[in-house]
């Protein structure tokens, strides 16, 4: 999407992981950036699950990555997800506040569990 002296912004398709993992050694965003665009040293600022498509931000320096990580951690950045539903989504907001437990990082499987991390997601049409 965009590249400058400090940042690389990528439109990640679903099904490709951000970095090499498991059976995905060569078909990852960081590998493709290095091999096809000569960006051998990019720093992951945040990530998206393998099956999630969306905008990814990489920095070209560790210092810039740490800066952006702090901005994200302080919740100064708002993430917006768009999804498709079957049928008609209700008017107004639907708020889901459930704790999420990671079952498997390898396959990106999470479940609602009281022992999990507190999460709040607001859905709106």
The catalytic residue positions are 49
Cα 112 to Cα 58: distance, rounded to the nearest angstrom: 30
pLDDT (0 to 100) of residue 73: 86
pLDDT at 52: 83
The answer to whether 14 and 53 are in contact (CB under 8 A) is: yes
One pLDDT digit (tens) per residue for the chain, 125 residues: 899 999 999 999 988 888 877 777 778 889 999 999 999 999 988 888 777 888 999 999 999 999 998 998 898 988 888 888 899 999 999 999 999 998 887 676 889 999 999 999 888 88
Return the pLDDT at 110.
86
List, in sequence order, the alpha helices (H) in the chain: 29-37, 62-73
The pTM of this model reads 0.69
Picking from 10, 14, 48, 50, the residue whose alpha carbon sits closest to that of residue 32 is 10
Dihedral class, residue 107 (left if φ above 0, else alpha if ψ from -120 to 50, else beta):
alpha
């Amino acid at each position: 999407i965009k590249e400058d002296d400090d940042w690389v912004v990528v439109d990640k398709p679903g099904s490709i992981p951000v970095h090499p993992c498991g059976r995905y050694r060569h078909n990852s965003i960081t590998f493709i950036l290095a091999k096809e665009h000569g960006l051998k040293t990019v720093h992951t600022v945040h990530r998206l699950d393998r099956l999630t498509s969306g905008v990814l931000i990489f920095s070209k320096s560790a210092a810039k990555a740490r800066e952006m990580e702090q901005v994200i951690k302080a919740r100064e950045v708002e993430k917006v997800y768009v999804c498709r539903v079957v049928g008609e989504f209700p008017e107004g907001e639907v708020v889901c506040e459930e704790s999420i437990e990671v079952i498997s990082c390898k396959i990106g499987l999470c479940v609602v569990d009281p022992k999990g991390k507190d999460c709040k997601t607001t859905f709106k049409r």
